Structure formats: C-alpha cells, structure tokens
C-alpha cells in the first residue's frame, strides 16, 4: 500500500525547466509518479521537465498531479529558485576555474554524510543535522578546495562553508574557516572571494605548518638517523616534500625575497627533489631526507613568517538586501510561459 510520507518538491529553474526532488520513506512512489508524468532522470537522479514546449509541459504537470494522487504522494512548489542555478551563478562569478556539483538530499543520511566532512562545526553543521534541505551543491576549484552551498530554510538565504581537505593530502588542525551567509548569489560570490577563501588559505597554511613541524621534531629529536621505522620516515618525508612545494610557491608568489632567500628556495627545491617520483629506493630521496633534517627548519621559519593575516569581516555577514517574493505555485494551469 502506498505511503503518505512520499513527497515531490518542484523547483523552478531559470534554464526553462522544472526540477523535481522525490523524497520521504516512500520515495519510490514519488519516483513512479514522476516517471508516469514524463519527467526525465539524469545520471545524478535529478528529475527534470523541460518547458520549451508549453502544451507538453502543461500536460505533464496535469499527469503528475493525477499520478501523485493515485500514488498518495504530496506535491509542493519550493518558494525559492533551484539551488543549482544559484550554484552556477556563484562559480561563474568566482576567480579561476570553478565547477558546481548539485546533490539531491533525499534522505537524512545524505545530509549527515555531508555534515561529517564540514570543517566548521557551527550553524551550517547544525542545519545539516536538524533541517531537511532538499538540495546542496559542492563548489570545486580543481585544486582541492571544496565548498558546500546550502539554502537556509528559515529565510531563504544561502550559506557557504568549507569542507575539510582530503586527509590524504593534509591533516586539518587549524581553526576552521568561517562560513558566509548572503541573500543573493552575487553577494555570496563576493563574500567567498573576500572572506571565505582567504580564511581557508590561512587555515590550510597553518595546518601545513603544524604537520611539518611535528614531523621534523619527530625526525630530529625523537630518533637518530637509521633507527626509526623506514615506512614512518618515508611517510613523513613525503608529507614534508608535499607541503614544502606549497610553501615555496607561496613564498615566491607573495613575498619580496632577498637574493639569499631566493637562492635558498632554489637549493631546497633541488635538494628535496620535488620533481622526482616518490621512489623510496632512489638516491634523490635519500639526499632529500638529509636536506629535510638539516634545512627543513629554515624553510618552516620562512613559511611561518609568510602566514596570511586573519581575515577581518567588514560588516555583517548578511547584507540587508530585499528578498524577492516567492513565485506562484506551479500548477497545470500556471506553467511558466516563454
């Protein structure tokens, strides 16, 4: 017997389409209603109805309401634009090459999964833990930075927070970057560029410093060369080489280096064999370990001096901009016209 807990939420997209999100414990009945109505489903399991043919769209919406009644599925129209459109507007406004991946949050465990990867344990974390959100989007820059975008149910504003870097590349120990809140996509993009990303870069830099300092202290003080486990030494050297590459790039990009400092960075880059493969049996890595133990502290000191300053927000997180009125409910008789 069908269950009343199944529901379909319709989102109006600016790309001449309606996005449908089936959810609830009886979600399969909602999916059946969407299939019967003629909605298409892509590889991300997002159901779409194109609006380029008005007559066909009205007919599909009529069939959807009929099928939903037959399957005991509730249908509701979300009052705000489709989050995927907001995500695309944000990544288009960000510097560099960003992309947005939209996720349908059909079940509580979908949100809990995202919650576990958030860096900041604040209001964004709480929302993922307590409120059904419908959709989320992950914004990626291609270089490892991942941001989470959601819509706040209480007022329709947008929240963006950082996901923790992959533990395979960095153990995040610094205070988490602070999330930002905005009422519109272009404001969110501005806050991301001026607050969240600088905060994120600082937190990554501090986490790198903490990790290399711990590893170097372990190598220099706790063990004599040749007396500690080879696998642990190789792992520590790998981490140092990875972080040293980032430090050197940062120092060359943002600092006024003296001739002596520039020569030191060149020597460290060559001595650490940063371009060499991670082959533990290579002579280059054996030499790199000696450079790490002898000159690693000097590189760490230079990197510490180049730590970005804390980000000081200029004004409130949310700008007092007007929020447009919600669109009319999508019904068979009121399908959007071209």
Q: What is the pLDDT of residues 111-146, one digit of tens each?
A: 988 998 999 888 899 999 888 898 999 999 988 899
What's the average model confidence in pLDDT over 280-296? 83
Residue 333: pLDDT band (50, 70, 90) is: very low
Is 192:90 a contact under the CB 8 Å cutoff? yes
**pLDDT (0 to 100) of residue 169:** 78
Buried b (16+ CB within 10 A) or exposed e, 122-161: eebbebbeeeebbbbbbbbbeeebbbbbbbbeeeebbbbb
**pLDDT (0 to 100) of residue 328:** 41
Res. 235: pLDDT tops 80: yes
Query: How far apart are alpha carbons 294 and 4 in whole angstroms?
Result: 69
Determine what percent of the chain is predicted with pLDDT higher than 90: 55
**Helix and strand tally (H, E) in the chain?**
10, 10
β-strands 74-77, 7-13: how paired?
Answer: parallel
What's the average model confidence in pLDDT over 190-211? 96
**pLDDT (0 to 100) of residue 161:** 96
Query: How far apart are alpha carbons 238 and 248 in whole angstroms?
Result: 15
Contacting residues for 109 by C-beta, under 8 A, at least 6 apart: none
**pLDDT (0 to 100) of residue 228:** 59
């Amino acid at each position: 017997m069908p269950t009343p807990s199944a529901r379909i939420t319709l989102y109006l997209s600016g790309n001449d389409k309606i996005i449908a999100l089936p959810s609830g414990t009886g979600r399969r009945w909602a999916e059946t209603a969407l299939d019967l109505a003629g909605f298409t489903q892509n590889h991300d399991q997002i159901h779409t109805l194109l609006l380029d043919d008005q007559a066909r769209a009205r007919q599909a919406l009529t069939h959807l309401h009929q099928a939903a009644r037959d399957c005991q599925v509730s249908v509701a129209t979300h009052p705000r634009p489709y989050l995927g459109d907001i995500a695309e507007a944000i990544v288009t406004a960000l510097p560099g090459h960003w992309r947005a991946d939209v996720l349908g949050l059909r079940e509580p465990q979908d949100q809990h999964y995202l919650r576990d990867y958030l860096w900041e344990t604040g209001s964004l974390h709480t929302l993922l833990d307590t409120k059904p959100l419908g959709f989320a989007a992950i914004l990626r820059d291609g270089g490892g930075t991942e941001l989470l975008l959601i819509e706040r149910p209480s007022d329709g504003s947008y929240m963006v927070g950082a996901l923790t870097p992959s533990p395979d590349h960095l153990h995040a120990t610094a205070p988490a970057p602070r999330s930002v809140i905005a009422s519109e996509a272009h404001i969110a993009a501005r806050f991301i560029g001026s607050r969240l990303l600088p905060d994120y870069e600082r937190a990554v830099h501090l986490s790198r410093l903490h990790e290399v300092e711990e590893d170097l202290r372990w190598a220099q003080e706790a063990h004599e060369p040749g007396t500690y486990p080879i696998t642990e030494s190789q792992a520590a050297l790998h981490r140092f080489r990875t972080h040293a590459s980032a430090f050197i790039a940062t120092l060359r990009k943002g600092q006024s280096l003296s001739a002596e400092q520039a020569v030191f960075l060149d020597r460290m880059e060559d001595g650490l064999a940063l371009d060499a493969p991670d082959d533990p049996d290579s002579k280059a890595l054996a030499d790199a370990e000696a450079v790490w133990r002898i000159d690693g502290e000097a590189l760490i000191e230079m990197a510490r001096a180049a730590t970005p300053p804390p980000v000081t927000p200029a004004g409130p997180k949310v700008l007092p901009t007007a929020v447009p009125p919600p669109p009319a409910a999508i019904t068979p008789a009121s399908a959007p016209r071209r």
